[in-house]
């Protein structure tokens, strides 16, 4: 049996360390020197999410692939096809559905209340890739597990996808400066930091673009691609306007945020209520990608 946890942990630690060092050596933007509280909060969420996946959702996507193969469920467990071809198809399909899930998280109010924890980070670096609420991780993992079973995805393809997704998320959230030529070439095939940073803009039309994590093709295809931010990469304002204070740096506040609106505990100044701001377009009704 594949030790998915050990593989993912080893690659996670290696990629995180490399990107953190490059951020210090070649930063794209000047970040505040006092990162301690932000980093502790973002890393704390990563620890909580890892514990949840281990003890609450121990099966996860790879376990779902193993189970589907054992009982013969899913498309590619029922048809004869080259396993490499099946793996490639499943990898690309999973990437599309992760893109779709991300898009939905900006369009459906319930999902946005959870996903906005990620966007509340006032800065953008490799730890931002770890800043996801446990509820979002649970929903995403359940979604992936269902797709894996329906497709009968090969176990190796699922392991590869999970590893690449984690590494890509850390890369495209990193505060590293790539040469202009390298960024232009890379963003044809993968999501670069300059491309994804636009998605974390406080300007609504920029936030509603560049949803991809691995491949940029879906944003090109569905018209949700933004090439450059209005204020440039160094002038781009990160985060959510209504959460511009110190609260997003606090772990407890970040964990409570998805529930705050429902319990009327979410406080904001009148000037912060519009226009960006907190809800997806059209009151949470779903529109197709444009």
pLDDT tens digits, 197-223: 999 999 999 999 999 999 999 999 999
pLDDT tens digits, 229-245: 999 999 999 999 999 89
Are 176 and 27 in contact by the 8 Å Cβ rule? The answer is: yes
- Res 2 pLDDT > 70: no
Most confident of 53-67, 188-202, 262-276: 188-202
Predicted TM-score (pTM) of the model is 0.88
Question: What is the chain's length?
Answer: 290
Quote the pLDDT of residue 67: 94
Closest among 242, 162, 230, 164 to 197, alpha carbons compared: 230
Spell out the domain ranges in the chain. Answer: 4-29+36-284
Token look-up 């054992």 returns 70
Are 107 and 289 in contact by the 8 Å Cβ rule? The answer is: no
């Amino acid at each position: 049996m594949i030790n998915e946890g050990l593989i993912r942990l080893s690659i996670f630690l290696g990629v995180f360390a490399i990107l953190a060092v490059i951020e210090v050596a070649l930063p794209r933007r000047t970040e505040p020197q006092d990162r301690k509280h932000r980093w502790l909060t973002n890393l704390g969420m990563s620890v909580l999410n890892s514990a949840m996946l281990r003890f609450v959702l121990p099966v996860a996507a790879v376990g779902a692939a193993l189970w589907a193969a054992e009982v013969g469920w899913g498309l590619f467990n029922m048809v004869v096809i080259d396993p490499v071809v099946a793996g490639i198809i499943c990898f690309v399909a999973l990437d599309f559905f992760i893109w779709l899930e991300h898009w939905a998280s900006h369009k459906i109010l319930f999902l946005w209340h959870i996903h906005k924890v990620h966007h509340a980070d006032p800065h953008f670096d490799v730890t931002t890739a770890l800043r996801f609420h446990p509820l979002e991780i649970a929903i995403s993992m359940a979604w992936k597990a269902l797709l894996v079973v329906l497709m009968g995805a090969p176990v190796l393809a699922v392991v590869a996808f999970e590893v690449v997704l984690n590494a890509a998320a850390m890369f495209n959230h990193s505060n590293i400066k790539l040469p202009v030529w390298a960024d232009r070439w890379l963003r044809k095939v993968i999501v670069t930091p300059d491309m994804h940073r636009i998605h974390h803009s406080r300007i609504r039309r920029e936030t509603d673009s560049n949803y991809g994590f691995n491949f940029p093709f879906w944003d090109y295809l569905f018209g949700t691609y933004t090439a450059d931010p209005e204020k440039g990469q160094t002038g781009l304002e990160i985060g959510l306007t209504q959460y511009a204070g110190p609260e997003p740096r606090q772990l407890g506040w970040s964990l409570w945020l998805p529930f705050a609106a429902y319990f009327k505990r979410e406080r904001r100044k009148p000037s912060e209520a519009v226009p960006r701001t907190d809800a997806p377009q059209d009151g949470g009704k779903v529109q197709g990608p444009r």
